């Protein structure tokens, strides 16, 4: 199971990113837990200055803007 955190204040882009992660994981048949992190101090702790950010299994893989589906596939399938 992959542990995915979506970092952001809870804006529409952050919500869309969380749904994209769920959709892509379902398409790949990968189990994921998606946690939304909205606390600014926690977000800053990951070194993210631009949201939404994505953290997969503790590793920051994306920051700022909506991710591309093919990038999500790679991040979820890796490791």
Question: Structure pTM?
Answer: 0.94
Decide: 25 and 76 in contact? Cβ < 8 Å. Answer: yes
The Cα 44–Cα 56 span in angstroms is 16
- Tokens found for residue 36: 């939304």
Alpha-carbon dihedral sign for residues 1, 66, 58, 41: negative
Decide: 55 and 46 in contact? Cβ < 8 Å. Answer: yes
Q: Which pLDDT tens digits describe the chain residue by residue (79 residues)?
A: 999 999 999 899 999 999 999 999 999 999 999 999 999 999 999 999 899 999 999 999 999 999 999 999 999 998 6
**Assigned fold of 2-77:** Glutaredoxin (3.40.30)
Match 């994981």 to its residue by tokens.
25
């Amino acid at each position: 199971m992959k542990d995915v955190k979506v970092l952001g204040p809870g804006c529409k882009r952050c919500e869309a990113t969380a749904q994209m992660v769920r959709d892509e994981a379902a398409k790949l048949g990968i189990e994921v837990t998606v946690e939304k992190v909205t606390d600014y101090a926690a977000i800053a702790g990951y070194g993210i200055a631009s949201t939404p950010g994505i953290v997969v299994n503790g590793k920051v893989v994306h920051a700022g803007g909506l991710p591309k589906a093919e990038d999500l596939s790679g991040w979820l399938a890796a490791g």
